[in-house]
Chain A
């Protein structure tokens, strides 16, 4: 084998001696192995020979699974969560230079002659929580009714100013593509708790407004073994392509075919030592089991009327946020580790009030129902819920500002997201922005800090959840990240 290939496959001297088939050292390795395992073990079938292998968290976790509702396109914090009533007296006034401070803008508004302040036209109410209440927009009444369970971070910030790098940053901890996603890291660290379903499932809802590309690499596994990548469940037709066997192929035929393919792959795995072959075998087996488990998962006929009503009128329409929230609960019930919901269409550069109403109405009731439904089933305590976009929106209007219409550009310097459930401190707001919701004035939270905190809740020291690749150890938080203890119950 070419030395480069050996290196790529991570060979070491020890592994060489213990593994190389037919070579001199190999025999010794095998003999030593037999000593380790006890006589006869190396002849045993793989499943018998496998010692108890555990993926386990570093310390007792607060949460066992994650439901991450990513609002793709980045919803305006100003119109949903970050109440700035003082702005109403600044309508159409120029954003003060002392606030903007020369910070970069996107190419979409950097050429604007004016940066007129656009106060939110939505009314806010102050809802009781564990502190002195939290102001929430009229667009989210159902979610607001859960204020005493939500943990708001008003001081998120990110590096990226455009969707693709910003989402990539949130999902993988790096703006450049190629790293494993958060869900893949979770799968790698925790392992699957349900062998019949993928560890990481992605559900997508089409929005009403401007929709940005949603690349499959947002749920990719990067350099981690590909069994950790997210599995997207489709909303139309079969949830997974080719879920049903073709006409004339029985389940027994399928089994025999898989057994044959597995034996060929097994041979290839031994020859090439490529871990991806092993992954492939595992994935074929998973697909075979999913032929049974997925139809059962996506069939809502065992849900009672009261539950369906809770999620709202759209719950029976596949692919809606309501249907996906219910599906998320069913996945959580089946102990799928990482469930990611994407709601597209939050990119309101113009016509924000009208579009925002539609978007918010689509998510508000279902997401509140999801939290309530998890709670009463005893699942909220160990399910970590995260809701947010990839950045915020500007206080100044993009395009024409009128009393009832405006748009907002991308704003990475401050925005709001919220968490709930597994180990999160309920009913609090963390961090503050200035009166223009333009800069953070208290307790900034970086994306790496968020990741470190979420991993902590899942039982990991983010500095120790590593994967060796191309000669160095990688981790989700790269060389950054601080656990924000104030967010932890």
Chain B
């Protein structure tokens, strides 16, 4: 699935944000144009792909956000919008008027919720999230980014129940941007994080909420019992790693936010999604040959060799290189810079 970044602006400042450095480097308030949106939609359609995610910054800040969504829906795309739910009253009214009758199978939102106690926000911001969920709850999956080990999920179960949200929680871990010091979950914390996550099993069962993993979780840190429960409860365990294929307003395309600086190209250089995937598969292969994963044990791990697990995510692996082999990393970056496109 391709991610289209509608705008580089965001109206929240999350401590774990791994898009921040990429957004800061873009022109202020860089926005996706109609022409580029139609180009991307055509590009996906001729590649046989009918799923798309809209991201930001905060995508709902784009003045044409509603129109873009309606355009993609009319063209029979399945659309997912990643939002923080902080919408102005005017924008929320647009959503209510134009999107509140959309097919829930064709349109859904992932609303990234922050724990109001651990990540305090102004009361007005929290009110707006609640207002968004009151209108679009049935279209919305809760998203939660874990950036500290003592997190709680109670507020999410409460929101799912109160606002009639989809009974699914998309749990992600805060990723590092290689070489930068934003808050993120370190490899040695992952077992603790996962144990904490699975400690909420009674609530997941009681509220019939399914758990799904975003990228970056290594399979070796999940016990068989935990994995069994996850499968039985209808959740999704995903241990792979992209490419997410993020398309910026300037039509540059990159692997994912944390790896935005690696082999970034213009979408206009490609003829199909398959070519973009091949391009980034080459990046993944090259980096994985240098650093198989986030742990030393990833080297030779059968799950990784079989493609079941990506060794904790490419950005985390590269971050390991930054710390452990900075000279080799700069050599790799030089080699990557000279690699030619296979198009």
Q: Do A and B come from one complex?
A: no
Q: What residues of chain A have their CB less than 8 Å away from a CB belonging to chain B?
A: none
